[in-house]
Amino acid sequence: EAQVTQNPRYLITVTGKKLTVTCSQNMNHEYMSWYRQDPGLGLRQIYYSMNVEVTDKGDVPEGYKVSRKEKRNFPLILESPSPNQTSLYFCASSFDLTGGLGYDSPLHFGNGTRLTVT
Amino acid sequence: ELKVEQNPLFLSMQEGKNYTIYCNYSTTSDRLYWYRQDPGKSLESLFVLLSNGAVKQEGRLMASLDTKARLSTLHITAAVHDLSATYFCAVDRNSNYQLIWGAGTKLIIKP
């Protein structure tokens, strides 16, 4: 089954304790991205990766890191989590959208990771 | 700075009625997306709109795009309870999937 898999689904941690949220897709997608969702704010992009060679900041990258060592995986790393990073996080993927294949492809989302930092 | 505004943010309606959700955005873009989210669930793609005048329909939902007015609409025809969800529009800022999202419209459809 074609899907984007995030782990864990739920995570409770304490301030300053490094954590990683994993994201893997099995659709051979070039593009991957991380979002956070907060009530009343919609989704805000944290980082995105056009392909394994290109990764860039989104709108709210502070406090986060990402890695794209291979096409299928795009982990989100919080080196020193703080309570303001308590949120619902989504990983998403799609084809390369720079005018080639998949120009009209939507994003495919994972099931989300609900993170609480105390 | 690109801003995306949805109206209304909350909508309660009766089954069988028609209604429209509006998505306004502040700068030029040639790609707009509509997604659905059920409570506690992920986001599901509904429509991808790529050009001025684009209209797409799926079941009781129809989406349109007017790039000159910077407006997209999601029209619901003869609403049924199963369409209760939160609906988001998202606009591609630079044609490279840097999407700016609306705050979402929570739709409740009562029997």
pLDDT at A105 over 90: no
Alpha-helix runs per DSSP H in chain B: none
Mean pLDDT of the region A98-111: 72
* Candidates A48, A106, A109; nearest CB to B42: A109
Predicted confidence at residue A41, as pLDDT, reads: 85
pLDDT at A49 over 80: yes
- Are A4 and A110 contacting, i.e. CB atoms less than 8 angstroms apart? yes
Pairwise CB contact (< 8 Å): A42 & B104: yes
Residue A96 confidence class, pLDDT cut points 50, 70, 90: low
Predicted confidence at residue A101, as pLDDT, reads: 45
Dist CA B21 CA B88 (whole Å) = 10
Each residue of A11-32: pLDDT tens digit? 999 999 999 999 999 988 999 9
| Residue B110 distance to chain A (closest CA, Å) | 23
Q: What residues of B are in contact with residue A109 (Cβ under 8 Å)?
A: 42-44
